Amino acid sequence: MPNFRLTAIAFAVLTFSACSTTPIPQRGPGTVPPSEQSAVPVPDVLVEVPAPLPSPSPPPYQAALARDEAVASVDALKQSRTESRRDNLAAMVKAAPATGVAYAMAPAPISQPADRENYAHLSDNPIHRAAEQPVSTFSIDVDTGSYSNVRRFLNQGQLPPTDAVRVEELINYFTLADAPAKSLDTPFAVHTEVATTPWNAKTKLLRVGIKGYAPTGPTPPSNLVFLVDVSGSMNSPERLPLVKSSLKLLVKQLSPKDRISLVTYAGSTAVVLEPTPGDQRATIEQAIDRLGAGGSTAGGAGIQLAYQQAEKAFIKGGNNRILLATDGDFNVGVTRFETLIDMVQEKRKTGVALTTLGYGTNNYNEHLMEQLADSGDGNYSYIDSLQEAQKVLVAQRSATLLTIARDVKIQVEFNPAQVAEYRLIGYENRALKREDFSNDQIDAGDIGAGHSVTALYEVALVGEGGERNEPLRYGSEARPAAKGEELAFVRLRYKRPGQDKSRLIEQPVRAGSAVAFSQASDALRLTAAVAAFGQKLKGGTYTGDFGYEQIAALAKSARAVDESESVGEFVQLVGLAQGLTASATPPTTLSVAE
């Protein structure tokens, strides 16, 4: 009898669920219901109506926006129906009469947070033969988010995913004590040096360092829009509460000439604070304190509203910028990666930059955060602690907010008479075509005040045995005559803020400038240590037996060159990686000779 009763209840529930799904009446294109039909008289005289004037074409991304919003509406309707059926089912089960029979129920499993972090896959740059491809071209990158994200993984007791490691961002996290530019006439100084590679005695490291001009006087006024994700996914201590504390640190640095707006987004968007003078700190902080998390994440709509606010309070000649604070988990409205990127690329033409500040774990969309900043002429940082917020928004505020050079590109031409092979370490997603270097229509990275940017090449010189590629069977091995003693020729192009025509800087690298690694500058020693660490985390394809202990010793020897005083922490991270690598490797049996 109990089995029969359960079967009857289950049948009734299924029947109710099927019947509760009521189809929505559909109206075909051009159809009119009978209740709305009326007799329409046909005129006796035909009147020629002029054709309407063509409307201006909308930006290309708007069609994609409309499509994505339509898809999101359908998804929301489906979700609403599913929740309605689930609620009806629960109500029926609750209202069913008791059978007098107790049934054992299995305990519900403990839910674990799903790891939905998103990273772009990038293969390491290949080795090129200088005789076949002598020119290397790429955009500079001032992002540092990969370093603090890697630190977060190591501090949590796990090795980072290889795709989370971008070697150039690890290197550029450190502020090197290179001599800066002396004036804004040439906004950055260029430093080059060559020394033996610490992990391969048969190759050399070529460092190309850029140090931005650091203004000492008053900075231009800022028009900042804080765009804050207040969706349900931000409801944890390392997310919205940390965002609020981070923004308050920046608010304390503002002046009366600055303007602050606050825009939020969850299932919908809202302007929480209209443009407000920077010295009205109590008003700004009260608006920040009122933020609370809940709902879905309409990030695309939030970005659009933030640009509208930035354009409304635009300061000519000032720093106009959106600071987007989020975990990047956009799940309603415009969510397609390509549509969001297209929208930001179109909006950057307004003169408003977009900087991204990443927060959170498990569902963190790092791929989107990095690419939004790159497309928006901004920079990307990952905030894993209040100390990191202090570094990015206070200690390095000028570098984060004040742009001194736009669309900075680097091109290095290697002399095949001196260089057999080369490879660029990092910058895999910043590669440009050779012809892009002189094309001012091609976008590239921007440099902030006081920024340090480093590019590192591993180079195999002719006759020193460091080549990794096999010689061609049918190709000619004849090499052109050397042009003097040049090892390479470095070119940089950049635009001054507000200008559209680029300027050119050129500088040769002499073959005779190469030194033993023991004689290398502290800047090159620290750069080499961080580059080796990043490559080791990615699998160590080119670093051979160069281990974590050697990396730590190398970094300690160059501690004095780091103006950001981060070397001590770096050495600790190297130790953590060494321990985690050892624990992840199965023990080997050692044989002892008799």
Distance in angstroms (rounded) separating the CA atoms of residues 548 and 545: 10
pLDDT of residue 71 exceeding 80: no
Residue 2 contacts residue 99 (beta carbons within 8 Å): yes
**Greater model confidence, 263 or 14:** 263
62: pLDDT confidence band, cut at 50, 70 and 90?
Answer: low
pLDDT in tens, 99-147: 444 434 444 444 444 568 999 999 999 999 999 999 999 999 899 999 9
Instruction: Give me the pLDDT at residue 83, please.
Output: 52
Distance in angstroms (rounded) separating the CA atoms of residues 325 and 229: 6
The pTM (predicted TM-score) of the whole model is: 0.80
Q: For residues 576-586, give the mean pLDDT.
A: 80
User: E strands along 140-281, which residues?
Assistant: 188-197, 200-212, 222-229, 259-265, 269-277
Q: For residues 84-111, give the mean pLDDT.
A: 49
Residue 520 φ/ψ, nearest 5 degrees: -70, 155
pLDDT in tens, 25-37: 444 444 444 444 4
Instruction: Give me the pLDDT at residue 184, please.
Output: 85
Element (H, E) at 13: helix 2-19
Hey, what domains does the chain have and what are their CATH numbers? 128-215+404-467+483-583 (2.60.40.1230), 222-401 (3.40.50.410)
Distance in angstroms (rounded) separating the CA atoms of residues 226 and 284: 11
Instruction: Give me the pLDDT at residue 572, please.
Output: 96
Q: For residues 575-581, give the mean pLDDT.
A: 96
Q: For residues 78-100, give the mean pLDDT.
A: 53
Instruction: Give me the pLDDT at residue 471, please.
Output: 83
Query: Which of 79-93, 118-132, 577-591 is predicted least confidently?
Result: 79-93
**Greater model confidence, 40 or 406:** 406
Instruction: Give me the pLDDT at residue 338, please.
Output: 80
pLDDT of residue 508 exceeding 90: yes
Q: How many CA atoms lie within 13 A of 583 on its CB side?
A: 9
Greatest C-alpha distance within the chain: 116
* Helix intervals (H) in 205-318: 240-251, 281-289, 299-312
pLDDT in tens, 274-313: 999 999 999 999 999 999 988 766 678 889 999 999 999 9
Instruction: Give me the pLDDT at residue 532, please.
Output: 98
Instruction: Give me the pLDDT at residue 2, please.
Output: 47
Instruction: Give me the pLDDT at residue 457, please.
Output: 98
In the chain, the percentage of residues whose pLDDT exceeds 70 is: 75
Q: For residues 549-554, give the mean pLDDT.
A: 96
pLDDT of residue 17 exceeding 50: no
pLDDT in tens, 147-188: 999 999 999 999 999 999 999 999 999 999 899 998 888 999
